[in-house]
């Protein structure tokens, strides 16, 4: 009996997965985004191997060297160097690591807390729900970046604190989403069935209901991933995120901002890196949404 | 309608108190010491320090401080800036029109470009034009706007010398602040060229701030349009031989309106967050720049008051949008 | 380039046509003033916008130097014991007429009493207005110093001191001592608008305050009846522009005539620009790295000397200051009298530093460098400086972690001595060496924390104390020169740099001088072609 259910659910899952991939791969742009993202992830993982220099190594005789193709540029510093003679390319490659990890951790933190609170709010109702939702409303009443900024001011500037602050501002959207899905699912037959079968609230919440709300959560997670990278960079730019000499992309722009006119490459390339990474994730996110959201599937 | 309004207001009350708690709490746990910041390298003696802390009311027990604060807020007193010694509310409302002007222009820019772009993409669905528009708008949506602003300054202000770099108006003009909206004030003034100068100053910041809303509006309009175009009555209308232009004009615009109103509602908080970055980059004398400065200089009471005022304005705008939405689409009232 | 010039001249054409009737000088100032009463605030930005334009003091610094010259006092005398100073006031000095105030009498001794009693006497009706925190009055210990201020007659005032303090007259030239109007004060008190005295200022200075829009601009007009003669500039505008890049852009575009604090990175380009005069002067400041001499191994002279040698100051100057500075070897800048040029700095020598560290028995040292979160003329980018020092020290086997805090926290914690080494600096207030050495390195300062090295050297301290009491400048010079030798040998700091102050000014501005104390003065011969 048990093995039979397991088998069925396995084949259902694999069936779902195949269907998903069918729709996802139909979008060339989504696949392109995914490939690019995989590339960036690999770059981040193997940053030590592929970057030509150490990110913090200061070549003091080679400060503010322009990129290789510009007059005065050198092949060994392909994207040029910054004020202290550090190789921009190496810094950007290593920065990918920080930005991706920051984005991922923000999503994991906000999603896990948000889903938990959302499930509880949707499942329990009553005053617990009211409190949770009012707290979330309060967080949402203050613009996200401002909220994060003040939180970081409290916690102290730094990458970790920036991630925590951003995660807090992202939590309400996960809570709302999970709560809404939970409330829809609660009235469905299969939930009633498990209830009758005597499933406890934990089992109901996590085993029965949660898997069925996954699709919108995955889409929301992907979108949050890209905005988390943007917001981490924005905090870095304002001097409240990762602290120099850490090569986080936003921090790179901030630390070189006074060279904006005399050495524009120190500002341009980190920005392009942010833009491309975020664009790739968003392309992938669009594909995911189309593949997972049955309503939009055929439109 | 009234009942709906009342219900919405009732929800806002706890949120408002939540925000006062947040604003109050933040400031009290902020590390650092306002008196020390004010003294700088030259320092302050221990007695003087204690004296100033008492004067600022920072020595009382927390609950007492909170009660004092709430009492003051309900009387409309948001405290006094530590740096300028001026009432926080006064500073806020002096700078607010600048941010409002920038935000309005940004959203207008987004609407004027975004809706047609979305409609065209929907109508030309699947073609290169559609892919191009959607590609650009996704890039806009992915844009780190602080970098975008710097890039535009390098290009338009520095290299091409087309736009001024910062501020709201050339300093050659003397314009009396009547409304606080520079476009209106400069138009009313008898200074020749002031209006043009104000326009020039607005272009880049509006484009930068409007980029993300533009992308969102274009995408939303497109999907709303696609939905409408596939609905039966539109197909019927088409089948009846009505010109495509008419079909789009009549049926799509109404839907586009709903989309726009919703998006504007959702974008207010985004715009205010974006204003922080945009104003910092363009030296725009608005509340975004002010609140950043206050956070950095540890102007406790300015941050506290500013947070509350900003949150309140977001709530008011959201409420207004809800009501507008209700007017356009009466179904949601029930 | 040609294109730029063309666009520029077009822009200027527009500007000039407006200027033909009224000469308007635009100053791209670096921030909003804190307010308009210099006695309440401490920022140079505030002083530029208030004390240097709207107000006068009893005595003033001559434009372009730290020499004290007559201001509202035509002359002054000191008693032989240095305890009594008598000022003879100038007659016929007119206050500004503004929208809200029309003066009925000239400046006299009552105004001096009003100004100083407000700061000094806690029961003065204006003492608590605008927070009642008179920063520089406190920092210069004026409260302890003053015994009495008397009005001898309408045009004579006598200050009596509790102890002899050689720099007293210089103090009277500082911004905080700007003279307000007693009549205006009375009028506002009668109408219940006391706060206005600090927001709608009335003074005797060369420019009349007209309007202020926060974060945007301040406007002034020339004071027609100024006692020193009407200014050549008819209208003065402060265009508040916080970003240095942007200020430079505006200067290039002719949107402003003078800008302070250029980006070090842009200075080279400014120098080449034919439209811009780049004025330069050594700043009256010092940037340093202080060792916490209470914490081992920094209690050892040898270690401090070795770490001095391990730092490549030239590289810091190139990277952080972009050449806009000079290497510091003494705790006072060369522009101050008594600067001892015979002192020899520690040369950059990592090998010797390594050997000295070994000799001191220090190996594998792990320490920290505190980097300020704010930008200062004496240190345009502390983080960058710390990164360079970190790399330099790594070469001699010292591993340093860069630490930073929010500014208030930074000052407080470093005052409590929580740091190992800390980057900080000082900008002179009145051009007296005492204002650097005693405040930053004396034993009293080691106790209250102003001395970040927490360094108290008997010989050094007694030399400084002696120099405080002597009034003869030659004698004082000898004493300060000796103190600098002790300082260098003991090496409680790494003296890093004195900034060079650059003031890019458009060609059409004439007569503008860089002021060593950092103020921007638009009177005293400043004109527009």
Q: What is the pLDDT of residues A69-85, one digit of tens each?
A: 888 888 888 999 988 88
Whether the per-residue pLDDT at C58 is higher than 50: the answer is: yes
Copy the structure tokens of residue C494.
């790494």
Whether the per-residue pLDDT at C346 is higher than 90: the answer is: yes
φ and ψ at C191, to 5 degrees?
-90, 0
pLDDT of C21 reads: 63
What string of DSSP letters covers chain A? -HHHHHHHHHHHHHHHHHHHHHHHHH-HHHHHHHHHHHHHHHHHHTHHHH-SS-TT---GGGTTPPPTTSTT-BTTBTT-B-TT--BHHHHHHHHHHHHHHHHHHHHHHHHHHHHHHHHHHHHH-HHHHHHHHHHHHHHHHS-HHHHHHHHHHHH-SSHHHHHHHHHHHHHHHHHHHHHHHHHHHHTSHHHHHHHHTT--HHHIIIIIIGGGGHHHHHHHHHHHHHHHHHHHHHHHHTTSSSPTTS--HHHHHHHTGGGTTTSTHHHHHHHHHHHHHHHHHHHHHHHHHHHH-HHHHT-
CA nearest to B249, candidates B237, B236, B232, B264: B237
What string of DSSP letters covers C327-358? E--SSS-TTSTT--TT--PPP--HHHHHHHHH
Q: Which among B18, B272, B291 is the nearest to A138, CB-wise?
A: B18
**In this complex, do B276 and A264 lie within 8 Å of one another by their Cβ atoms?**
no
Task: Identify whether the C-beta of residue C218 lies closer than 8 Å to the C-beta of residue C33.
Answer: yes
**Choice among B89-93, B308-312, C139-143, C155-159 with the minimum mean pLDDT:** C139-143
Spatial neighbors of A112 by CB under 8 A, at least 6 apart, are: none
**In this complex, do B144 and A260 lie within 8 Å of one another by their Cβ atoms?**
no
Q: Which among A150, A226, A233 is the nearest to B26, CB-wise?
A: A150
Separation in Å, CA C475 to CA A110, B98, C438, C471: 69, 59, 17, 8
Give the bridge partners for C277, in sequence order. C505
**In this complex, do A63 and C318 lie within 8 Å of one another by their Cβ atoms?**
yes
Copy the structure tokens of residue C248.
């430079």
Mean predicted confidence (pLDDT) in B51-60: 80
Confidence of residue B1 (pLDDT cuts 50, 70, 90): low
Confidence of residue C3 (pLDDT cuts 50, 70, 90): very low
Copy the structure tokens of residue A210.
């949660």
Q: What is the mean pLDDT of chain A?
A: 86
Q: Which of A154-158, B229-233, C141-145, C301-305 has the highest mean pLDDT?
A: C301-305
Put simply, whether C439 touches A (Cβ < 8 Å) is no
Contacts of A156 in chain C (CB under 8 A): 405-406
Question: C235-239 and C24-27 as β-strands: parallel, antiparallel, unpaired?
Answer: parallel
Copy the structure tokens of residue C53.
């334009």
- How far is residue C487's CA from residue B55's CA, in Å, rounded to a whole number? 40
Using left for φ > 0, alpha for ψ between -120 and 50, and beta otherwise, residue B87 falls in beta
Q: What is the mean pLDDT of chain C?
A: 88
**In this complex, do C388 and A261 lie within 8 Å of one another by their Cβ atoms?**
no
pLDDT of C1 reads: 38
Task: Identify whether the C-beta of residue C35 lies closer than 8 Å to the C-beta of residue C44.
Answer: no
pLDDT of B154 reads: 85
Q: What is the mean pLDDT of chain B?
A: 82
Spatial neighbors of B125 by CB under 8 A, at least 6 apart, are: B226
pLDDT of B76-99, one tens digit each? Answer: 888 888 888 888 999 899 899 999
- How far is residue C213's CA from residue C103's CA, in Å, rounded to a whole number? 25
Sole residue written with tokens 């939702």 = A133
**In this complex, do B36 and C405 lie within 8 Å of one another by their Cβ atoms?**
no
- How far is residue B220's CA from residue B207's CA, in Å, rounded to a whole number? 19
Mean predicted confidence (pLDDT) in C279-306: 92
pLDDT of A107-125, one tens digit each? Answer: 999 999 999 999 999 888 8
CA angle C50, C51, C52 (to 5 degrees): 95
Name the percent of chain B lying above pLDDT 70.
91
pLDDT of C431-485, one tens digit each? Answer: 888 889 988 998 888 887 789 999 999 999 999 988 887 777 788 899 999 999 9
Nearest Cα residue in chain C from A83: C319
Instruction: Give the number of beta-carbon pairs within 8 Å between A and B.
Output: 126
Whether the per-residue pLDDT at C226 is higher than 90: the answer is: yes
Contacts of A271 in chain B (CB under 8 A): 144, 147-148, 150-151
Q: Return the SS3 of C394.
A: helix
- How far is residue C168's CA from residue C76's CA, in Å, rounded to a whole number? 12
Whether the per-residue pLDDT at B325 is higher than 80: the answer is: no
- Tabulate helix, strand, coil % of chain C (nearest 5): 35, 20, 45
Put simply, whether B43 touches C (Cβ < 8 Å) is yes
CA nearest to A171, candidates A219, A103, A223, A111: A111
pLDDT of B251 reads: 66
Q: Which among C248, C264, C319 is the nearest to A84, CB-wise?
A: C319
Nearest Cα residue in chain C from A153: C406
- How far is residue C294's CA from residue C420's CA, in Å, rounded to a whole number? 9
- How far is residue C7's CA from residue C4's CA, in Å, rounded to a whole number? 5
CA angle B116, B314, A157 (to 5 degrees): 105
Mean predicted confidence (pLDDT) in A92-116: 94
CA nearest to A217, candidates A171, A170, A178: A178
φ and ψ at C178, to 5 degrees?
-65, 140
Contacts of A257 in chain C (CB under 8 A): 245
Chain C nearest-CA distance from B308, in A, is 21
Sole residue written with tokens 């925000």 = B19
3-state SS of B171-211? CCCCCCCCCCCHHHHHHHCCCCCHHHHHHHHHHHHHHHHHH
Chain A nearest-CA distance from B308, in A, is 8
**In this complex, do B19 and A153 lie within 8 Å of one another by their Cβ atoms?**
no
Task: Identify whether the C-beta of residue B133 lies closer than 8 Å to the C-beta of residue B121.
Answer: yes
Interface pTM, i.e. ipTM: 0.86
Whether the per-residue pLDDT at B269 is higher than 90: the answer is: no
Mean predicted confidence (pLDDT) in C338-363: 93
Spatial neighbors of A239 by CB under 8 A, at least 6 apart, are: A157, A254, C373
pLDDT of B175 reads: 75
Task: Identify whether the C-beta of residue C176 lies closer than 8 Å to the C-beta of residue C137.
Answer: yes
Whether the per-residue pLDDT at C19 is higher than 50: the answer is: no
- How far is residue C209's CA from residue C53's CA, in Å, rounded to a whole number? 8
Put simply, whether B225 touches A (Cβ < 8 Å) is no
Separation in Å, CA C219 to CA B171, C23, C518: 10, 13, 21
Mean predicted confidence (pLDDT) in B198-212: 91
Sole residue written with tokens 């089948």 = B239
pLDDT of B283 reads: 84
Copy the structure tokens of residue A157.
């500037």
Contacts of A154 in chain B (CB under 8 A): 26, 29-31
Question: C59-61 and C509-510 as β-strands: parallel, antiparallel, unpaired?
Answer: unpaired
Confidence of residue A294 (pLDDT cuts 50, 70, 90): low
Largest distance between two CA atoms of chain A:
77
pLDDT of A297 reads: 44
Whether the per-residue pLDDT at C369 is higher than 50: the answer is: yes
Whether the per-residue pLDDT at C390 is higher than 90: the answer is: yes
Query: Of how many residues is chain B composed?
Result: 334
pLDDT of C411 reads: 85
Mean predicted confidence (pLDDT) in C112-121: 95
Name the percent of chain C lying above pLDDT 70.
96
Mean predicted confidence (pLDDT) in C114-126: 94
**In this complex, do C450 and B193 lie within 8 Å of one another by their Cβ atoms?**
no
pLDDT of B10 reads: 83
Question: C509-510 and C527-528 as β-strands: parallel, antiparallel, unpaired?
Answer: antiparallel
pLDDT of C295-323, one tens digit each? Answer: 989 999 999 999 999 999 999 998 888 87
| Residue C90 DSSP class | P
Element (H, E) at C319: helix C313-319
Put simply, whether B154 touches A (Cβ < 8 Å) is yes
pLDDT of B226 reads: 81
Using left for φ > 0, alpha for ψ between -120 and 50, and beta otherwise, residue C423 falls in beta
Nearest Cα residue in chain B from A277: B142
CA nearest to C329, candidates C349, C313, C318, C353: C313
Whether the per-residue pLDDT at B241 is higher than 80: the answer is: no
Q: Which of A260-264, A278-282, B27-31, B60-64 has the highest mean pLDDT?
A: A278-282
Confidence of residue B329 (pLDDT cuts 50, 70, 90): low
| Residue C232 DSSP class | S
Element (H, E) at C113: helix C109-120
Q: Which among C245, C387, C404 is the nearest to A245, CB-wise?
A: C387
Separation in Å, CA C192 to CA A256, B166, C127, C185, C482: 51, 39, 15, 10, 56
Measured on CA atoms in the order B114, B116, B122, B124, is the torsion positive or negative? Answer: negative
Nearest Cα residue in chain B from A280: B142
Contacts of A144 in chain B (CB under 8 A): 269-270, 273
Selected for mutation to probe chain A from C4, C245, C250 (highest A CB count within 10 Å) is C245
pLDDT of C207 reads: 96
**In this complex, do A258 and C264 lie within 8 Å of one another by their Cβ atoms?**
yes
> For chain A, which residues lie within 8 Å of any Cβ of chain B, measuring from their own Cβ?
29, 134-135, 137-138, 140-146, 149-151, 153-154, 156, 226, 230, 233-234, 237-238, 250, 253, 257, 260-261, 264, 267-268, 270-271, 274-275, 278-279, 281-283, 286, 296, 299
Q: pLDDT higher for C196 or C242?
A: C196
Q: Return the SS3 of B34.
A: helix
Nearest Cα residue in chain B from C436: B42
**In this complex, do C387 and A153 lie within 8 Å of one another by their Cβ atoms?**
no
**In this complex, do C384 and A83 lie within 8 Å of one another by their Cβ atoms?**
yes
> For chain A, which residues lie within 8 Å of any Cβ of chain C, measuring from their own Cβ?
58, 60, 63, 83-84, 153, 156-157, 239, 243-245, 255, 257-263
pLDDT of C15 reads: 42
Confidence of residue B299 (pLDDT cuts 50, 70, 90): confident
Against chain C, the chains showing at least 3 CB pairs within 8 Å are A, B
Contacts of B31 in chain A (CB under 8 A): 154, 156
**In this complex, do B144 and A271 lie within 8 Å of one another by their Cβ atoms?**
yes
Instruction: Give the number of beta-carbon pairs within 8 Å between B and C.
Output: 127
Mean predicted confidence (pLDDT) in B247-251: 69
pLDDT of A45 reads: 92
Task: Identify whether the C-beta of residue B212 lies closer than 8 Å to the C-beta of residue B141.
Answer: yes
- How far is residue A23's CA from residue A28's CA, in Å, rounded to a whole number? 10
- How far is residue C264's CA from residue C246's CA, in Å, rounded to a whole number? 14
Confidence of residue C12 (pLDDT cuts 50, 70, 90): very low
φ and ψ at B175, to 5 degrees?
-115, 125
Question: C366-370 and C421-427 as β-strands: parallel, antiparallel, unpaired?
Answer: parallel
Strands (E), C62-161: 68-70, 73-78, 84-89, 146-153, 156-161
């Amino acid at each position: 009996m048990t093995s039979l259910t397991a088998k069925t659910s396995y084949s259902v899952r694999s069936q779902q997965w195949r269907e998903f991939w069918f729709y996802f791969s139909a979008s060339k742009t989504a696949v392109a985004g995914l490939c690019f993202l995989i590339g960036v992830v690999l770059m981040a993982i193997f940053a030590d191997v592929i970057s030509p220099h150490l990110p913090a190594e200061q070549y003091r005789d080679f400060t503010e060297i322009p990129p290789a193709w510009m007059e005065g540029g050198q092949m060994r510093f392909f994207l040029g160097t910054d004020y202290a003679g550090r190789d921009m390319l190496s810094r950007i490659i290593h920065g990918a690591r920080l930005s991706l990890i920051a984005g991922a951790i923000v999503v994991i933190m906000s999603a896990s807390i948000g889903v938990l609170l959302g499930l509880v709010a949707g499942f329990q109702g009553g005053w617990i729900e009211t409190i949770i939702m009012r707290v979330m409303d309060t967080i949402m009443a203050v613009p996200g970046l401002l909220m994060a900024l003040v939180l970081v001011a409290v916690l102290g500037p730094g990458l970790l604190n920036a991630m925590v602050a951003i995660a807090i501002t992202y939590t309400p959207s996960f809570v709302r989403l999970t709560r809404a899905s939970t409330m829809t699912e609660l009235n469905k037959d299969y939930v009633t069935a498990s209830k009758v079968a005597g499933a406890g609230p934990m089992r109901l919440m996590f085993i029965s209901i949660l898997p069925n709300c996954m699709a919108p959560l995955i889409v929301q997670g992907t979108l949050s991933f890209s905005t988390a990278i943007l917001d981490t960079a924005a905090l870095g730019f304002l001097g409240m995120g990762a602290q120099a000499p850490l090569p986080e992309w936003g921090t790179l722009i901030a630390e070189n901002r006074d060279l904006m006119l005399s050495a524009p490459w120190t500002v341009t390339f980190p920005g392009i890196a942010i833009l491309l990474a975020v664009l790739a994730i968003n392309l992938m996110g669009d594909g995911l949404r189309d593949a997972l959201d049955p309503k939009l599937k055929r439109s | 309608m009234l009942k709906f309004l009342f219900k919405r207001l009732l929800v806002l009350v706890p949120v408002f108190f939540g925000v006062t708690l947040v604003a109050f709490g933040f400031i009290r746990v902020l590390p650092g010491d306002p008196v020390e910041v004010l003294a700088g390298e030259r320092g302050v003696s221990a007695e003087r320090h204690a004296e100033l802390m008492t004067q600022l009311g920072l020595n009382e027990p927390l609950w007492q401080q909170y009660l004092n604060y709430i009492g003051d807020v309900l009387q409309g007193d948001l405290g006094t800036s530590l740096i300028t010694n001026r009432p926080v509310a006064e500073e806020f409302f002096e700078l607010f029109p600048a941010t409002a002007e920038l935000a309005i222009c940004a959203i207008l820019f987004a609407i004027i470009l975004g809706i047609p772009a979305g409609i065209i993409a929907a109508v030309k669905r699947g073609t290169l034009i559609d892919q191009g528009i959607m590609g650009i708008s996704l890039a806009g949506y992915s844009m780190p706007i602080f970098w975008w602003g710097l890039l535009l300054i390098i290009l338009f202000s520095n290299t091409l010398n087309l736009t001024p770099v910062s501020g709201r108006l050339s300093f050659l003009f003397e314009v009396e602040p009547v409304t606080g909206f520079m476009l209106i004030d400069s138009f009313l003034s008898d200074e020749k060229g002031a209006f043009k100068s104000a326009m020039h100053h607005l272009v880049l910041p509006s484009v930068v701030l409007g980029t993300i809303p533009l992308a969102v509006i274009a995408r939303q309009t497109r999907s709303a349009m696609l939905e409408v175009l596939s609905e039966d009555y539109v197909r019927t209308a088409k089948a009846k031989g009505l010109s495509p232009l008419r079909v789009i004009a009549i049926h799509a615009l109404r839907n586009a309106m709903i989309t726009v109103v919703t998006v504007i509602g959702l974008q207010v908080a985004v715009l205010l967050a974006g204003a922080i970055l945009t104003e910092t980059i363009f030296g725009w004398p608005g509340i975004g720049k002010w609140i950043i400065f206050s956070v950095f200089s540890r102007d406790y009471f300015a941050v506290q008051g500013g947070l509350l005022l900003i949150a309140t304005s977001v709530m008011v705008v959201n409420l207004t949008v809800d009501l507008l939405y209700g007017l356009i689409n009466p179904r949601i009232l029930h | 380039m040609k294109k730029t010039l063309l666009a520029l001249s077009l822009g200027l054409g527009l500007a000039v046509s407006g200027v033909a009737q009224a000469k308007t000088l635009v100053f791209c100032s670096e921030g909003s003033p804190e307010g308009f009463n210099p006695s309440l605030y401490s920022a140079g930005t505030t002083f530029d916008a208030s004390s240097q334009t709207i107000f006068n003091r009893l005595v003033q610094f001559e434009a372009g130097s730290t020499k004290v010259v007559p201001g509202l006092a035509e002359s002054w005398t000191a008693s032989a014991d240095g305890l009594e100073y008598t000022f003879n006031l100038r007659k016929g000095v007119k206050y500004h007429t503004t929208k809200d105030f029309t003066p009925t009498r000239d400046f006299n001794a009552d105004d001096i009493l009003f100004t100083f009693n407000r700061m000094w006497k806690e029961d003065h009706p204006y003492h608590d207005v605008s927070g009642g925190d008179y920063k520089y009055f406190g920092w210069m210990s004026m409260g302890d110093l003053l015994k009495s201020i008397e009005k001898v007659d309408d045009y004579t005032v006598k200050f009596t001191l509790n102890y002899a303090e050689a720099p007293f007259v210089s103090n009277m030239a500082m911004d905080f001592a700007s003279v307000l109007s007693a009549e205006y004060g009375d009028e506002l008190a009668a109408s219940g608008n006391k706060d206005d005295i600090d927001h709608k200022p009335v003074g005797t200075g060369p420019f009349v305050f007209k309007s202020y829009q926060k974060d945007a601009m301040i406007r002034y007009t020339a004071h027609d009846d100024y006692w020193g003669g009407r200014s050549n500039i008819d209208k003065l505008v402060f265009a508040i522009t916080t970003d240095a890049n942007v200020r430079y852009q505006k200067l290039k575009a002719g949107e402003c005539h003078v800008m302070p604090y250029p980006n070090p990175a842009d200075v080279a380009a400014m120098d080449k620009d034919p439209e811009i005069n780049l004025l330069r002067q050594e700043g009256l400041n010092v940037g340093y790295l202080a060792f916490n001499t209470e914490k081992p191994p920094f209690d050892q002279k040898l270690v401090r000397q070795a770490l001095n040698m391990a730092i490549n100051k030239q590289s810091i100057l190139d990277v952080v200051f972009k050449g806009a500075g000079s290497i510091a070897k003494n705790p006072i800048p060369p522009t101050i009298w008594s600067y001892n040029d015979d002192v020899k700095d520690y040369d950059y020598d990592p090998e010797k530093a390594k050997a000295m560290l070994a000799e001191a028995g220090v190996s594998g040292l792990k320490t920290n460098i505190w980097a300020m979160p704010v930008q200062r003329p004496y240190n345009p980018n502390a983080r960058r400086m710390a990164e360079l020092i970190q790399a330099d020290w790594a070469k001699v086997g010292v591993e340093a972690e860069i630490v930073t805090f929010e500014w208030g926290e930074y000052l407080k914690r470093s005052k409590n001595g929580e740091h190992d080494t800390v980057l900080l600096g000082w900008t002179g207030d009145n051009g007296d060496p005492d204002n650097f050495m005693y405040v930053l390195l004396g034993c009293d300062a080691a106790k209250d924390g102003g001395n970040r090295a927490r360094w108290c050297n008997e010989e050094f301290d007694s030399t400084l104390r002696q120099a405080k009491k002597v009034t003869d400048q030659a004698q004082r010079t000898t004493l300060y020169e000796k103190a600098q030798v002790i300082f260098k040998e003991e090496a409680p700091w790494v003296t890093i740099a004195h900034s060079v102050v650059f003031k890019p000014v458009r060609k059409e501005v004439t007569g503008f001088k860089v002021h060593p104390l950092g103020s921007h003065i638009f009177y005293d011969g400043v004109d527009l072609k």
